[in-house]
Structure 1
């Protein structure tokens, strides 16, 4: 699809059409050099997604955490259309990897990208438990369970003293086995986002069961992957669920088939006789495809999923008399009657517009290469009607 055609379709998505004729773009934003218009259009589209600009990432960004990919797949389909709105708390999920590469399990997560208007709903601290060393597996005197303690660091220069850290929680873990452990530390993260200077990280310690976590710990063979010595996929991670206060999703009140790209309705094309009939009877109000391809507009390097989506748009005439298939409101029906009887010269016929809108989710890298899952409301025309 030529780029100019893509931006024409973008304009169709946001400007309602009446009687099948698109509104004309006028004013400063519609005038000027094509490159300037394209830049303005990209800026407007970024504003729709709540972003000031595309993130500047390395040429080959790292793979996103599998947890975030799995979460996206549980929430949305391949086309981004939300299929299970009840999974997430809020409308934004942010993941942060530990970047300290500390020898100790002193971990730090940079939360500067969490906006001040975002309400922290829940926070998960993810640690990958490694398999015990072979010597610990065959040692008959080795303990079967260890106690893991999580601390909020208050003074990173004095973490060994009781006043340098605050105990958050304890967990009993079996020495054998491996896998992810998820620990909730919501209150600490709320404090960090309210006062960025208070964020001095987390400290993880391991010892024998029922030991005082504030005192020197006895060795216990439970080990966790760290950012220093282990693969990116096993790094400690903080997952923050937030709500930025935007309007909630408009969800379907009745079952519907997902309006994905595969189900896109073909744009009507006809021969001469069909064209002649269309001149006599305009195309009725209906939903038509509007494909948004992130690769085509140069965003595929930072948008992980979906690769694009079908926004659909509404086009066609709302001619009198309005049938039930036009899904008219009572007001639109009255307006069409007044227009048909020419009772008022300044009253136009009803417009063909979306009357159900659905949400999509995007999985993308932010400017610090953190992975974000965000829900955007009112992005897909689910059906069209005369209003």
Structure 2
């Protein structure tokens, strides 16, 4: 039995099973637009999508928070640095697109899938520098109390029935920067019943609830400020796809933290280096398999990475299997049965990945929100005879 392996051919990921592998010449002869479309459809399914998101109508900069989060959990190639850093496997960011004022916010969450379990939700507000004409007021007021409410009835906000308190924090009146408020319960309500989403209300008062000059504390609004300071909702979820196959909670060793990439992913010279046949004398080992998102037409909506090295396993599993082949007990027994020809129906073990790692994608969804998603079992970390 020959080992399964994968090849990136003309922008398509082609998978070959241990039995009945067709020749590349046959694939090239039968290559067609329908086959390409089917291959890309299957690849989208791997990434949990039915259709590729539409590219942004104009060049947009992703929120810096999402870029920083991606760089924290993933290397330049998208490979996960530590699987425990990210809560769940999906992080979604929503900008205030209805241009609310600085104290009322509404985020449209229609892109959240029904199967996603909401773990944590945060409201990110950019606090502007105070602009109070009365300097004495600033000297008297060093802190303020900021409260965030879930709006239950926007026509009855002055009543306790019209809003529900979600978060309260003390903030320094002086200074500026991003402030984060927990609003998890409200978002859970909204994802369960979309019509219940009437937005958020933010109030600012002095210590002890005393009135405060409205100009003393202001937040950037979706109406009047640059996108880099617009209010943002950040949602951490899990879509239930984690750990579906081999475990991925093992740290990459130093040789895998920065896998070697070809200088130009997907270039013609790179593709021609891919061997078209397996030398049966070569032992089971790991080889490069470069996936180029630009070549397959996905660079318009994927922000990072440009591509990644999936690696693939290729080589023979000859009898007797040594420890360097990382064989399972089952593979050892199968190898013995095959070598002794005790059964005509038993072939030798296959060279396959025995350790897989996850990658992360940072991309725009159909609503031009930025999503960070982690996908398990995408990189062959090591190979063995199974």
What is the TM-score when the length of structure 1 is the normalising length?
Answer: 0.86
In structure 2, the CA distance between the partners of 1:318 and 1:259, relative to structure 1 (3 Å rule), is: farther
Q: 2:265 maps to which residue? A: none
Instruction: List per-residue Cα deviations over 1:261-313 (Å, max 9, x = no partner).
Output: 5267x9998xxxxx9xx97x622211111100001111111111111000011
Q: 2:347 maps to which residue? A: 348
- 2:179 matches 1:181: yes
Q: Could you tell me how far apart the structure 1 residues matched to 2:272 and 2:55 are?
A: 41
In structure 2, the CA distance between the partners of 1:55 and 1:237, relative to structure 1 (3 Å rule), is: same
- 2:231 matches 1:236: yes
Q: CA deviation at 1:11?
A: 1.8
Write out aligned runs for 1:304-319 (5 A): 304-319=303-318
Q: CA deviation at 1:254?
A: 7.4
- 1:52 alignment partner, SS class: coil
Q: Could you tell me how far apart the structure 1 residues matched to 2:157 and 2:95 are?
A: 21
- 1:157 alignment partner, SS class: coil
Q: 2:154 maps to which residue? A: 156
Question: What is the root-mean-square deviation of aligned Cα atoms in Å?
Answer: 3.0
In structure 2, the CA distance between the partners of 1:260 and 1:11, relative to structure 1 (3 Å rule), is: farther
Q: 2:367 maps to which residue? A: 368
- 2:220 matches 1:225: yes
Q: 1:293 maps to which residue? A: 292
- 2:14 matches 1:11: yes
Instruction: List per-residue Cα deviations over 1:181-220 (Å, max 9, x = no partner).
Output: 11111111111111111100001122222227xxx87636
Q: 1:45 maps to which residue? A: 43
Instruction: List per-residue Cα deviations over 1:106-129 (Å, max 9, x = no partner).
Output: 100111111122111111111111
Give the number of aligned pairs.
366
> 2:8 touches 2:291 (CA, 8 Å); kept in 1?
no
In structure 2, the CA distance between the partners of 1:116 and 1:136, relative to structure 1 (3 Å rule), is: farther
Write out aligned runs for 1:40-79 (5 A): 40-79=38-77
Q: Could you tell me how far apart the structure 1 residues matched to 2:291 and 2:9 are?
A: 13
Instruction: List per-residue Cα deviations over 1:60-119 (Å, max 9, x = no partner).
Output: 342111111111111010011101222211111111111121235210011111112211
Q: CA deviation at 1:140?
A: 5.9
Q: Could you tell me how far apart the structure 2 residues matched to 1:94 and 1:384 are?
A: 34
- 1:146 alignment partner, SS class: strand
- 2:255 alignment partner, SS class: coil
Q: 1:190 maps to which residue? A: 188
Q: 1:272 maps to which residue? A: none
Gaps of 5+ in 1: 270-274
Gaps of 5+ in 2: 1-6, 263-269
| Corresponding residue to 1:130 among 128, 131, 137 | 128
> 1:207 touches 1:220 (CA, 8 Å); kept in 2?
no
